[in-house]
Amino acid sequence: MIALAKKRKIYKATKERKIITFFFLAILIIANIFLIHNILLFKNIETLLCICIITILLIMMFITIILSNKAKRKSKRVFTISLIAIILFTSVLLTGSFVIKKMYNKIYKISTNYTTHSTSIVTLNSNKANNIDDIKDNQIGILNDKSSIEGYEIPNQIIKDEKLDEKKVASYNSYVEMIQELLDGNIEYIFLPTNYTVMFSSIEGFEELANTTKIIYTRELEKESEKKAQPSKNLTEPFSILLMGVDSEYEGIENGSFNGDALLVLTFNPETLNTTILSIPRDSYIPITCMNNRRNKITNAGWYGETCVVNSVEKFLDIDIDYYFKINFKGVVSLVDAVDGIDIDVPYSFCEQNSNREWGRKTIFVDAGKQHLNGEQALAYARHRKVTDYMVYYCGSKYVKNANYWNDFIRGEHQQEVISGILNKLSDIKSFNTIEEILDSISNNTSTNMSIDTILSLYNIGKDILSKSNNANNSLSMQRLYLTGYDATIYDYNFIINQGTKLNLYNYIIYEDSLEEVIQAMKENLGLSDIKPNKSFSFSVEEPYTPYIIGQGQYSKIGVTLVPNWIGKDISKAEAFAKSYGITLKIDYIEGSSSYSIGQITSQSVPAGTDIDGVRNITLKVVNSIKKENNIKEDDDINNDTNDKNKSNNNNNNSNNNKENNNSLDNDIDNQLPEDLLP
């Protein structure tokens, strides 16, 4: 009986051990499968290593299962040790799975086919309204461009959902026109992209929008991106990337509208390891696809989202942009800090506002010389382009005395230096914590149309570059490109489609032959064009050698023609110009004052400095007789003549076309005209 009872006790104990062992082994198997699944997410990088790790995990799992089955028949001590071993092994597997999945999710966050668009109702700070219910029956401004998500689509949803009076909605041709109407007190509320204070702060008169206006309502809308990566594109083939620097007040990359403050186009050839890099000046005057191909500053394309920027750059450079990366400037700060700073040889001391656009005690100071820059300093170096009144007030002469050095091109070069500095530090990362910090920074402040698999395959490119760079004949080369042009003040309005701000704005016009050289170099690197060898080479032993930068030189081929200032000039000049460029002239003959001669123009319906691509017809007022004036006039007559003259000047000049403004444009416009058309 005792022996039978003992057998039953052993049997019962063995059965309990089987159940416990089965339970923990089941968890172990699930954890192992979960880890293997997560490892396979990275199968495209270090495929052989992944296979080895998976093989080792499977072998260890089978050994654990066999030993555990044997341990359940052993002593209690052996059985307990086996359970502890299973639990520890399972914990390691689950921890590994969690870490790998966490890293994958951060990378996955960068890759998205969706963009979050955000629209706000804006009013003046002096307005007592604090929410949408306070609008009542007041008029509200909306953009009349039906293709605009922030300016038209979302506002119309708000109007419908919040039951705003549609009869009180006023349509405008541009955001700038709306903002000016708000500041002038002609309308109380307008719909603007939520990031409007940054987008329009560079426009004269709008610098203080953050202090003079406020947001009383905001709505977001997530939409699928129109510009997706080419699914057939392989990173083993030459490809192009557009880097878009986004200036924002907020952390994160969600907002669809932005200022294209930094635009860099890279082409990479994996066979030759050659990379071309081009900075596009933010004021470059090029066709903007989402503005009916109306030429405008490329930075303004960002108002309509990344699709508009990418499409406009493609049209401008005549190449396909395979991938884009949109990077928030605030992300630069955290990224540089994550790699523990970068080394830059700073040419001159300067100061700049911080990433939150703050001065005073928050001002960023950088001294000349070789410096180890932190995140805020690196961003200031990449952003700084001119000396402003704020800098003079806050910084002192040491940091503003080299004002002539800084410009948009210098800023482009500095941005390239910051990118190179970051890449140099990334190639020397040895800490897992650093990798995690970098992924945190990138995932929160970067978005791209690359698929997750394509992003991961960049690892293989980097590895290939490092291996080939060991051979002097196959080292990575960086070929800088440059867009040469000239400054011009252009009246921003297209009279054919009736769009524009009606302001005289600074633009940078690129010489066509410089652009052609840049395009040729990009196409050669992408394998789209045969390489044209340079058969000439010269140097002087008395001068240090400087490499030739493609696109930088002396050029004369102009692709933009502006309407001249004809006021006070003979009509024959206008007729010759109109005939040359296919413009129809309508002439109104008038009786002129003694300050004009017969045949001279007193006004023009299209202001000087207007791009002729937006002009078909121009009306001119031309003197055909001189008004006789009496030597003696009554006081009332004198006053009436003065008022008439002032009124005539206001009507003729269209508020933007007075003689002072026109004369300031003469030199720029005349320089681009054929000699036979010069005034």
State pLDDT tens for residues 486-543.
Answer: 999 999 999 998 888 888 999 999 999 999 999 999 999 999 988 776 656 565 656 6
What average pLDDT does the segment 143-159 reach?
Answer: 90
What average pLDDT does the segment 541-569 reach?
Answer: 84
Q: Which stretch of 151-165, 311-325, 473-487 has the lowest confidence by average pLDDT?
A: 473-487
What average pLDDT does the segment 306-327 reach?
Answer: 92
Residue 236 has what pLDDT? Answer: 80
Domain match, 144 and 29 both: no
Residue 613 forms beta bridges with which residues? none
What average pLDDT does the segment 178-200 reach?
Answer: 92
Q: Check pLDDT > 80 for residue 252.
A: no
Residue 670 has what pLDDT? Answer: 43
Q: Which stretch of 168-182, 242-256, 332-346, 570-584 has the lowest confidence by average pLDDT?
A: 242-256
In angstroms, what CA-CA distances link 98 with 6, 59, 93, 479?
46, 21, 9, 41
Q: Give the domain-ending residue among 110, 138, 171.
A: 110
Name the nearest CA neighbour of 97 among 155, 68, 54, 135: 54
- Cβ-in-10-Å burial (0-12, 13-18, 19+) of 599 comes to middle
Q: Give the domain-ending residue among 224, 254, 272.
A: 224
Q: Check pLDDT > 70 for residue 482.
A: yes
Q: How far is the C-alpha of 87 from the C-alpha of 435, rounded, in Å?
A: 29
Residue 539 in domain: no
Residue 655 in domain: yes
Domain match, 100 and 209 both: no
Residue 113 has what pLDDT? Answer: 66
Mean pLDDT of the chain: 82
Q: How far is the C-alpha of 265 from the C-alpha of 286, rounded, in Å?
A: 15
Residue 565 in domain: no
607 neighbors 666 (Cβ within 8 angstroms): no
Q: Percent of the chain, pLDDT > 70?
A: 83
Domain match, 157 and 211 both: yes
In three-state form (DSSP H/G/I as H, E/B as E, the rest C), the secondary structure along 324-341 is EEEEEHHHHHHHHHHCCC
Cα dihedral 509→512→515→520 (10° resolution): 170
Domain match, 218 and 252 both: no
Domain match, 321 and 371 both: no
Helix axes 76-110, 452-468, angle to 10 degrees: 90
Domain match, 302 and 437 both: yes
Domain match, 153 and 256 both: no
Residue 343, token pair as written in the block: 């080394």
Residue 555 has what pLDDT? Answer: 93
Q: How far is the C-alpha of 562 from the C-alpha of 611, rounded, in Å?
A: 5
Q: Check pLDDT > 60 for residue 678.
A: no
Residue 190 in domain: yes
CATH number, residue 375: 3.40.630
User: Quick check: helix, strand or coil at residue 354?
Assistant: coil
Name the nearest CA neighbour of 590 among 543, 652, 547: 652
Domain match, 128 and 103 both: no
Residue 538 in domain: no
Residue 666 has what pLDDT? Answer: 43
Residue 434 in domain: yes
Higher pLDDT, 679 or 531: 531
Q: Percent of the chain, pLDDT > 90?
A: 41
Q: Check pLDDT > 70 for residue 466.
A: no
Cα dihedral 653→615→314→442 (10° resolution): 20
Residue 359 has what pLDDT? Answer: 86
CATH number, residue 671: 3.30.10.20
Residue 246 has what pLDDT? Answer: 80
Residue 243 forms beta bridges with which residues? 264, 325
Q: Check pLDDT > 60 for residue 115.
A: yes
The residue ranges of DSSP E strands in 257-386, in sequence order, are: 260-269, 274-280, 285-288, 294-297, 323-328, 342-346, 350-352, 364-366, 369-373
Q: Check pLDDT > 80 for residue 225.
A: no
Residue 566 in domain: no
Higher pLDDT, 290 or 679: 290
Question: What type of residue is 154?
Answer: I
Residue 336 has what pLDDT? Answer: 92
Residue 538 has what pLDDT? Answer: 60
Q: Check pLDDT > 50 for residue 639.
A: no
Residue 389 in domain: yes
Residue 545 has what pLDDT? Answer: 55
Domain match, 263 and 216 both: no
Residue 119 has what pLDDT? Answer: 94
Higher pLDDT, 614 or 664: 614
Higher pLDDT, 46 or 659: 46
- What does 542-557 look like in DSSP terms, one character per residue? TS---PPPBT-S----
Q: Give the domain-ending residue among 368, 403, 428.
A: 428
- Measured from the Cβ of residue 380, the count of other Cβ atoms closer than 10 Å reads 23
Residue 123 forms beta bridges with which residues? 214
Range of the domain at 606: 571-677
Domain match, 353 and 252 both: no
The vertex-634 CA angle with 629 and 637, nearest 5°, equals: 65
How many structural domains compose the chain?
5
Q: Which stretch of 251-265, 405-419, 497-511, 522-536 has the lowest confidence by average pLDDT?
A: 251-265
Residue 653 has what pLDDT? Answer: 40
- Cβ-in-10-Å burial (0-12, 13-18, 19+) of 371 comes to middle
CATH number, residue 159: 3.40.190.10
Q: How far is the C-alpha of 578 from the C-alpha of 554, rounded, in Å?
A: 29
562 neighbors 608 (Cβ within 8 angstroms): yes
In angstroms, what CA-CA distances link 440 with 241, 445, 520, 620?
22, 9, 38, 61
State pLDDT tens for residues 63-78.
Answer: 888 888 787 777 788 8
Residue 428 has what pLDDT? Answer: 72
Q: Beta strand 114-124 with 213-224: parallel, antiparallel or unpaired?
A: antiparallel
CA neighbours closer than 13 Å in the CB half-sphere of residue 386: 6
- Measured from the Cβ of residue 416, the count of other Cβ atoms closer than 10 Å reads 19
State pLDDT tens for residues 6-51.
Answer: 455 454 556 787 888 888 889 999 999 999 999 998 887 778 888 9
Helix axes 329-338, 375-383, angle to 10 degrees: 140
Split at pLDDT 50, 70, 90, the class of 664 is very low
Domain match, 363 and 506 both: no
In angstroms, what CA-CA distances link 510 with 282, 514, 548, 553, 555?
12, 7, 19, 12, 10
- Cβ-in-10-Å burial (0-12, 13-18, 19+) of 634 comes to exposed
Domain match, 273 and 322 both: yes
Q: What one-character DSSP code corresponds to residue 237?
A: S
Split at pLDDT 50, 70, 90, the class of 138 is confident
